Amino acid sequence: MRKYVFSSTLESADWNNSTIIRDDVVTAVTELKQQDGADLIMYGHGRFSRTLLKVHLVDEIRFSVHPVLVGGRAVGGGNGQTLALNLLVATPTPSGIVALTYEPTSS
């Protein structure tokens, strides 16, 4: 998979099929989006993604919920053990909030 690394400080990218882009990120992403091929994927959120959102270069946002951690501690206590959860219901609201209901599994 081709990787584009947007960085003003990284000197080299040793990952296979990687290109560092240091210049105008808006122009670079606009050009990448115009190329044929698969979708572009960006992981994480920070200054770079805020820039792309501001100039309307983001087509879709996906959120992943990992219900194992709450405040850096395992759900169910801070004893170092994790608690597996089973999703029961995902309820979207008109305002865009999604309420998730889980039950602990009996593992």
pLDDT digits (tens, 9 = 90+) for 18-76: 999 998 999 999 999 999 988 899 988 889 999 999 999 999 888 877 665 444 455 55
pTM: 0.66
| Predicted pLDDT at 69 | 42
| Predicted pLDDT at 46 | 87
SS3 for 34?
Answer: helix
pLDDT average, residue stretch 100-107: 79
pLDDT average, residue stretch 79-99: 83
pLDDT average, residue stretch 99-106: 83
| Predicted pLDDT at 71 | 45
Q: Are strands 73-74 and 85-92 parallel, antiparallel or unpaired?
A: unpaired
| Predicted pLDDT at 35 | 92
Domain ranges of the chain: 3-54, 69-104
The one-letter amino acid at 71 = G
Let me know: does 75 contact 85? Beta carbons within 8 Å. yes
DSSP 45-61: -SHHHHHHHHTT-----
SS3 for 96?
Answer: coil
